[in-house]
């Protein structure tokens, strides 16, 4: 090859490489512009199914309570609801990506097996290393709704304190025109103090949280209206591991089995169901054309029963005046871990033999002269445990089999 031919050949290779680079660039640009690249990546790479941390056991997968906390429970669908209470109409709004700690209240979990209302700020701060001296009274949401008498009821030692010795209480006396006389206990029958809440009189952000002696040692349920406080309004509670709660759900292990087959919505009219609701029972048949479900196996007649996907079947839920919320419906499912949340089969993937379960929550109120009332379990979905075929699974109560 002559020197001139070599130069021509090298030049041709450069032109070819530049042309190829241009084609690749245009190709990738088109992929990105029209979303094809994202689709291709999603097809090539298996999608990661989010779930809570779990502990494997012979009985079935259990949540790892030591690594579960409210702040990690993220809602994937937004919503809003308005409902009546004894203190007027209440509205709650949540968006996809919110943690349930941002909008759910302590009273929603009053019937659960967590006993979070028995916690106090001292216990929470010690578990998380929180310096309570750095916080203000406004950081503890329950304080804004207290009157002086209800505050003393929650912290009885205040009764013998002088109002002058506690700045927030003294300022409340002054703002209401109540002359401090002796101890705080001497003025508890004053109608002005009984009628007005602290948050209406003074700016709670101006006072150190621990300026009220004993506040850190009073359990949450000692304060009036504690049920109405949002989880995030209790310092540290959103990040406290469930294992630090006074109790955690202990499922009944007398009714367990295995995930046998996961089947999508081409399945119709399934009548051996072990899913449903507290109100409708847990053997609610799926009489419709799409009945995605997981077929279970186990002892005796357990083999062949179906846990229907709550994504495609809704059942009756709720009780009292709040049962009308969401049309009185909730996804079908079970409660192996108690009433704090409902476990719902959600996404079915036949190709991998996997089923993703989710948690659904409810709002609850205790209304004077009416009693306890709760909405259906319709707040969700929040990713829970993902099971694969042949995995053991806990069904919990009841153990009725159709």
Identify which of 128, 109, 126 has the alpha carbon closest to the alpha carbon of residue 118.
109
Q: How far apart are CA 165 and CA 175, in angstroms?
A: 16
Give the H/E segment covering residue 329: strand 329-331
Q: What is the pLDDT of residue 262?
A: 87
Would the pLDDT of 27 be above 50?
no
Q: What is the pLDDT of residue 212?
A: 96
pLDDT tier, 54 (very low <50, low <70, confident <90, very high otherwise): confident
Structure confidence at residue 9 (pLDDT): 53
Checking if the pLDDT of 301 tops 50, the result is yes
Residue 141: the pLDDT is 96
The span from the CA of 196 to the CA of 216, in Å, is 23
**pLDDT at residue 16 in the model:** 57
| pLDDT exceeds 50 at position 34 | no
**Predicted local confidence at residue 37, as pLDDT:** 34
pLDDT digits (tens, 9 = 90+) for 362-400: 999 988 888 899 999 999 999 999 999 999 999 998 888
- Helix, strand, or coil (residue 171): helix
Average pLDDT of the residues in 313-320: 96
Burial class of 19 by CB neighbour count within 10 A (0 to 12, 13 to 18, 19+)? exposed
**Alpha carbon distances (Å) from 177 to 34, 143, 174, 190, 202:** 69, 21, 5, 11, 13
User: How far does Cα 265 stand from its chain's mean position?
Assistant: 28
Q: Of 37-51, 81-95, 175-189, where does mean pLDDT reach its minimum? A: 37-51
The pLDDT value given to residue 299: 87
For residue 317, pLDDT beyond 60: yes
Nearest to 365 by CA among 82, 79, 81, 84: 84
Res 384: pLDDT: 95
Confidence of residue 268 (pLDDT cuts 50, 70, 90): confident
Average pLDDT over residues 247-252: 88
> What pLDDT digit, counting tens, does each position of 85-134 carry?
767 788 899 999 999 999 999 999 998 889 999 999 999 999 999 999 99
Distance CA 69, CA 99 (A): 10
Domain regions of the chain by residue span: 3-39, 55-74+249-394, 114-244
Q: Tell me the percentage of the chain whose pLDDT exceeds 90.
A: 68
* pLDDT tens string 121-171: 999 999 999 999 999 999 999 999 999 999 999 999 999 999 999 999 999
Contacts of residues 378-381 at CB distance under 8 Å and 24 or more positions apart, as own/partner, are: 378/79, 378/317, 378/325, 378/326, 378/329, 378/330, 378/331, 379/75, 379/79, 379/94, 379/100, 379/104, 380/75, 380/76, 380/77, 380/331, 380/344, 381/75, 381/76, 381/77, 381/331, 381/344, 381/346
Mean pLDDT score, 348-358: 91
Closest among 347, 328, 348, 346 to 277, alpha carbons compared: 328
Beta partners for residue 366, in sequence order? 372
Mutual angle of helices 3-33 and 36-44, in 10-degree steps: 90
Reduced to 3 DSSP states, what percent helix, strand and coil does the chain have, rounded to the nearest 5? 35, 25, 40
The pTM score is: 0.83
The alpha-helical segments, DSSP class H, found in 129-273 are 148-154, 167-176, 191-195, 198-201
């Amino acid at each position: 090859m002559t020197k001139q031919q070599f130069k021509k050949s090298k030049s041709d290779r450069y032109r070819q490489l530049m042309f190829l680079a241009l084609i690749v660039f245009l190709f990738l640009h088109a992929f990105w512009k029209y979303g094809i690249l994202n689709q291709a990546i999603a097809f090539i790479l298996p999608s990661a199914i989010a779930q809570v941390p779990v502990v494997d056991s012979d009985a079935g997968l259990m949540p790892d309570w030591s690594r579960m906390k409210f702040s990690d429970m993220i809602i994937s669908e937004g919503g809003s609801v308005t409902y009546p209470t004894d203190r007027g109409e209440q509205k709650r709004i949540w968006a996809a990506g919110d943690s349930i700690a941002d909008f759910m209240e302590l009273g929603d979990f009053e019937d659960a097996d967590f006993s979070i209302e028995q916690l106090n700020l001292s216990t929470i701060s010690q578990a998380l290393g929180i310096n309570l001296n750095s916080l203000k009274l406004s950081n503890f949401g329950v304080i804004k709704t207290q009157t002086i008498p209800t505050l003393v009821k929650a912290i009885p030692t205040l009764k013998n304190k002088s109002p002058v010795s506690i700045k927030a209480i003294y300022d409340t006396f002054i703002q209401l025109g109540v002359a401090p006389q002796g101890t705080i206990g001497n003025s508890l029958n004053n109608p002005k103090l009984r009628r007005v809440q602290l948050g209406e009189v003074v700016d709670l952000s101006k006072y150190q949280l621990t300026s009220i002696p004993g506040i850190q040692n009073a359990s949450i349920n000692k304060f009036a209206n504690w049920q109405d406080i949002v989880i995030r309004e209790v310092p540290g509670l959103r990040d406290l591991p469930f294992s630090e709660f006074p109790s955690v759900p202990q499922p009944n292990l007398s009714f367990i089995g295995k995930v046998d087959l996961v089947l999508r919505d081409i399945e119709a009219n399934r009548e051996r169901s072990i899913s449903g609701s507290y109100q409708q029972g847990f053997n609610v048949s799926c009489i419709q054309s799409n009945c995605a479900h997981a077929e279970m196996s186990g002892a005796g007649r357990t083999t062949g029963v179906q846990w229907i996907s709550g994504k495609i079947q809704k059942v009756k839920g709720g009780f009292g005046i709040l049962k009308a919320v969401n049309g009185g419906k909730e996804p079908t499912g079970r409660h192996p871990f108690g009433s704090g949340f409902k476990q719902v089969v959600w996404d079915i993937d036949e190709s991998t033999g996997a089923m993703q379960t989710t948690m659904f929550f409810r709002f609850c109120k205790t209304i004077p002269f009416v009693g306890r009332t709760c909405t259906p379990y319709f707040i969700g979905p929040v990713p829970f445990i993902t099971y694969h075929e042949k995995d053991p699974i806990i069904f919990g109560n009841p153990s009725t089999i159709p």
